[in-house]
Copies of this chain bind each other. A is one copy, B any other.
Amino acid sequence: MSDSEEAIQAIGENAPVSEILSVEKAQRMAEFFGVLGDPNRWRILSALASRELPVGELAEAVEMSESAVSHQLRVLRTMRLVSYRKRGRNVYYCLKDKHIFNLYQEASEHLDEPDDG
């Protein structure tokens, strides 16, 4: 059974109590979602959703220092949420795939739900 299948069964079906996420899988989940647990990273991601941007413009758009943005971009790169291409002195960043949109919408729905949802 693949790591993914093990986890989906554990969380999705009527499994016994002992069927909880392995520490390793829980760790990976937490690392990923932890990256999305910072407001400035969300602002960076939303800025890149509109279009590809070099670091300087990105920093200006989200009102952060270039250094702070660069640090955060490294985190986002590590989680493969953004990719980049070098062009002269500039480095253009953009979103890597569509998962971030789905995650955003899913969370948005949850947050917009009434209290009894």
- Note all chain B residues with C-beta closer than 8 A to A34: 33-34, 36-38
B17 touches A46 (CB 8 A): no
Q: Choose one: B29, B42, B104; the contact of A104 (CB below 8 Å).
A: B29
Closest B-chain residue to A101, C-beta based?
Answer: B12
- Note all chain B residues with C-beta closer than 8 A to A42: 21, 25-26, 29-30
User: Dominant SS at the A interface?
Assistant: helix
Closest B-chain residue to A38, C-beta based?
Answer: B30
- Note all chain B residues with C-beta closer than 8 A to A47: 17, 20
- Note all chain B residues with C-beta closer than 8 A to A46: 7, 10-11, 19-21, 26
Judge if A110 is at the interface, Cβ distance under 8 Å.
Answer: yes
